[in-house]
């Protein structure tokens, strides 16, 4: 099994900036698969969702596997039904599989 980096994704402006920096840094450094854990997000947070989307775009570009982990009733309803994520057509990148569409619901062991 490939080593993975799990990044916790809390919400809040400072946390979003921090998550963005962390993801950008990880994606610049290598090709280690990245798992983003959204289980810690208490409330749906559009800026954080946008950061994840942006990370996925760079991950595709660099050939890095990136997936979203964790689930919750609020997040599922919000992301899929209200925010309108989880549609492979939305980002316009041919062949991309939206991480929301394939996100895992179990928490794997994380390692930095």
- Residue 70 CB, shortest distance to another protein, in Å, is 19
Minimum CB–partner distance for residue 8 and another protein (Å): 16
Q: Which is nearer to another protein, 1 or 73 (CB)?
A: 73
Segment 46 to 105, residues that bind another protein, using CB under 8 A: 46-47, 50-51, 53-55, 57-58, 61, 78, 81-85, 87, 89-93
Give Cα separations from 50 to 10, 46, 47, 85, 93 (angstroms).
Answer: 13, 6, 5, 10, 16
Helix (H, G, I), strand (E, B) or coil at 69: strand
Here the tokens at position 75 are: 């997040």
Residues in the chain: 112
Among the candidate windows 4-12, 14-22, 102-110, which touches another protein by CB under 8 A? 14-22
112 is a contact residue toward another protein (CB under 8 A) = no
- How big is the site for another protein, counted in residues (CB under 8 A)? 31
Please say whether the beta carbons of 90 and 98 come within 8 A: yes
């Amino acid at each position: 099994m490939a080593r993975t980096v799990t990044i916790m994704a809390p919400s809040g402006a400072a946390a979003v900036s921090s998550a963005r920096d962390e993801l950008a840094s990880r994606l610049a450094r290598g090709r280690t698969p990245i798992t983003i854990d959204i289980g810690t997000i208490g409330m749906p947070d559009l800026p954080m969702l946008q950061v994840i989307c942006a990370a996925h775009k760079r991950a595709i570009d660099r050939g890095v596997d990136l997936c979203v982990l964790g689930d919750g009733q609020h997040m599922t309803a919000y992301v899929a039904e209200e925010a309108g994520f989880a549609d492979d057509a939305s980002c316009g990148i041919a062949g991309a599989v939206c991480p929301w569409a394939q996100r895992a619901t179990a928490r794997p062991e994380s390692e930095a």
